[in-house]
A and B are shown apart, each in its own frame.
Chain A
Amino acid sequence: EAAVTQSPRSKVAVTGGKVTLSCHQTNNHDYMYWYRQDTGHGLRLIHYSYVADSTEKGDIPDGYKASRPSQENFSLILELASLSQTAVYFCASSGGQNNNQAPLFGEGTRLSVL
């Protein structure tokens, strides 16, 4: 069964600390994405990746780094967490040109920065 797994599911971090959110997919998908959701808003794209060892900036990349060490794994890194980064983070994957499946989403990571 196709799946996108995020860890942790929730996290409390301190301002100025480093936070790493992890995403793992078992779908053999080439494309992976990190989105951010703020209360009462839609999702906004932070970073994405088309292939392992390469990442691209999305619409709101400031304050975030991404890492794609393998096809299956995609991490989002907050080097210096700030209060404004409190949000729910979603990872997604999609198959690329040869797979017409719509993007699949993980369950989300709820991050609170205090």
Chain B
Amino acid sequence: AQSVTQPDARVTVSEGASLQLRCKYSYFGTPYLFWYVQYPRQGLQLLLKYYPGDPVVQGVNGFEAEFSKSNSSFHLRKASVHWSDWAVYFCAVSMRWYNVLYFGSGTKLTVEP
């Protein structure tokens, strides 16, 4: 069965610093992977998606993620964090882009001035 682990419940970074949020997945087959962001009291918004192909995918607002089959990982990165990035980030895996998503528990990002 598919599952997602986000090992860091909370991450704090300084504004302007680089960011990596970790995601490990478990899936037998070719996964479709997603990063969503949730701002306070809002729904989930798609940051980026991986459909089998180029392992590095670009998303909105300067985010990117890299798929690694050997490490079963899909880590999210950003070169320079802005205060507006303060949110909860969810990694998710699916069998297809239109199928059920299985979510990690989320990483709460705090941005310090």
Q: Which residues of A contact B4 (CB under 8 A)?
A: 42
B window 1-60: CB within 8 A of A: 4, 6, 9, 34, 36, 42-46, 49, 51
Task: Quote the shortest CB–CB distance from B110 to chain A (angstroms).
Answer: 15
> Is the contact region of chain B dominated by helix, strand, or loop, or is it mixed?
loop
Kindly state the interface size class of chain A when it binds its partner: 20 to 34
> Is the contact region of chain A dominated by helix, strand, or loop, or is it mixed?
loop
B43–A103 CB distance below 8 A: no
Q: Which residues of B contact A74 (CB under 8 A)?
A: none
Q: Which of B66-74, B75-83, B96-104 contacts A (4 or more CB under 8 A)?
A: B96-104
**B42, B100, B106: residue with the most chain A Cβ atoms closer than 10 Å:** B100
Q: Which of A14-22, A60-68, A77-85, A93-101 contacts B (4 or more CB under 8 A)?
A: A93-101
Question: Given A42-B106, A90-B44, A108-B43, are A102 and B100 neighbors across the interface (CB < 8 Å)?
Answer: no
A103–B101 CB distance below 8 A: yes
B105–A41 CB distance below 8 A: yes
Task: Quote the shortest CB–CB distance from B87 to chain A (angstroms).
Answer: 14
Question: Given A42-B90, A90-B43, A90-B44, are A100 and B103 neighbors across the interface (CB < 8 Å)?
Answer: no
B97–A100 CB distance below 8 A: yes
Name 28 A/B residue pairs within 8 A (Cβ), A-sorted: A4-B43, A30-B98, A31-B98, A31-B99, A33-B101, A40-B9, A41-B105, A41-B106, A42-B6, A42-B104, A42-B106, A43-B101, A45-B101, A45-B102, A58-B100, A90-B43, A90-B44, A94-B97, A95-B98, A96-B98, A97-B96, A100-B51, A100-B97, A102-B34, A102-B46, A105-B45, A106-B43, A107-B42
